């Protein structure tokens, strides 16, 4: 199935590209004729993404590294710019999705989740600024409905998602004059490997009953929203959070 948005020739850096939503974005982007720097901490996952991309594998530049290290993002962007002449977009997608009651949160968990969820987003922005094409560029952050509603047990994760939503609005204003659009996606209830590890079948059944469209979302539906934001079809969209949640945030 061809991708419906024109992203041919774009150079896109995607973090957390090894599985789930990041993987779906990479596969959809190369199908649409883009080149992608696919960053993940897990080398085996990246190898599988390249295998899954088939004839498009030459358009994926795998980068194994930890997004909390600024050098990972800088060298991935440098490699992509070397290959394509510049970087058009960075999608800061990597996360450590972990829920726990607040009294169990340790220093180690807090540092790790804030590092992957917030610090890495800042490095992603800086990597784009360093290697972007002068003609215009785009940033996408991944937030979540839990950043806007109180969901017990999600405190640290929700904090990171609220932080990147805030970063999105600030940078839309700060970088807009340079032709850089900054937006966020807020997926809800997409059964990725990371999300399924936290959600029981019974919980998913409860959620489906509350979602106006009465189903879970798919990884591809999120990937298509990302490609829309990167394409010229979204050329006046800046500072937005797009919910891909079957209407749950509208209905609550």
* Residues known to be catalytic: 157
Q: How far is the CB of 191 from ligand NAD (least distance, A)?
A: 7
Q: Which of 20, 34, 33, 130 is nearest to 86 (CA)?
A: 130
Positions in 197-236 near ligand NAD (CB under 6 A)? none
Q: Which is nearer to ligand NAD, 133 or 218 (CB)?
A: 218
Positions in 112-141 near ligand NAD (CB under 6 A)? 116
Cα separation, 252 vs 250, whole angstroms: 6
Q: How far is the CB of 243 from ligand NAD (least distance, A)?
A: 10
Rg (CA), the chain: 17
Q: Which is nearer to ligand NAD, 35 or 219 (CB)?
A: 219
Q: How far is the CB of 135 from ligand NAD (least distance, A)?
A: 28
State residue 90 phi and psi, 5-degree precision: -125, 130
73 binds ligand NAD per the rule CB under 6 A = no
Positions in 161-190 near ligand NAD (CB under 6 A)? 187-190
Q: Give CA separation, 144 vs 1, 6, 28, 87, 124, in Å.
A: 28, 26, 21, 26, 19
Q: How far is the CB of 13 from ligand NAD (least distance, A)?
A: 12
Q: Which is nearer to ligand NAD, 8 or 72 (CB)?
A: 72
Query: Using an 8 Å Cβ cutoff, are 15 and 73 in contact?
Result: yes
Region near ligand NAD per CB under 6 A, out of 55-63, 75-83, 90-98, 123-131? 90-98
Contact residues for 14 (Cβ-Cβ < 8 A; gap 6+): 22, 25, 26, 29, 36, 37, 38, 39, 91, 93
């Amino acid at each position: 199935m061809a991708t419906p948005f024109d992203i041919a020739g774009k150079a896109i850096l995607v973090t957390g590209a090894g599985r789930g939503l990041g993987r779906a974005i990479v596969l959809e982007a190369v199908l649409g004729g883009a080149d992608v720097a696919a960053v993940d901490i897990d080398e085996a996952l990246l190898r599988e993404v390249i295998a899954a991309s088939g004839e498009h594998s030459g358009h994926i530049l795998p980068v194994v590294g930890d997004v909390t290290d600024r050098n990972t993002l800088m060298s991935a962007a440098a490699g992509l710019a070397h290959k394509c002449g510049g970087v058009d977009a960075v999608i800061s997608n990597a996360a450590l999705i972990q829920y726990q009651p607040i009294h169990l949160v340790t220093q180690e968990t807090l540092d790790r989740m804030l590092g992957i969820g917030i610090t890495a987003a800042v490095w992603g922005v800086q990597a784009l600024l360093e290697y972007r094409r002068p003609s215009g560029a785009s940033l996408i952050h991944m937030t979540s409905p839990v950043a806007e509603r109180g969901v017990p047990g999600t405190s640290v994760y929700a904090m990171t998602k609220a932080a990147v939503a805030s970063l999105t609005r600030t940078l839309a204003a700060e970088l807009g004059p340079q032709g850089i659009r900054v937006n966020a996606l807020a997926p809800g209830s997409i059964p990725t490997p990371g999300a399924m590890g936290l959600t029981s079948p019974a919980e998913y059944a409860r959620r489906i009953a509350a979602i106006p469209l009465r189903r879970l979302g798919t990884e591809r539906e999120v990937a298509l929203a990302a490609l829309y934001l990167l394409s010229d079809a979204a050329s006046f969209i800046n500072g937005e959070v797009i919910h891909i949640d079957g209407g749950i945030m509208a209905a609550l």
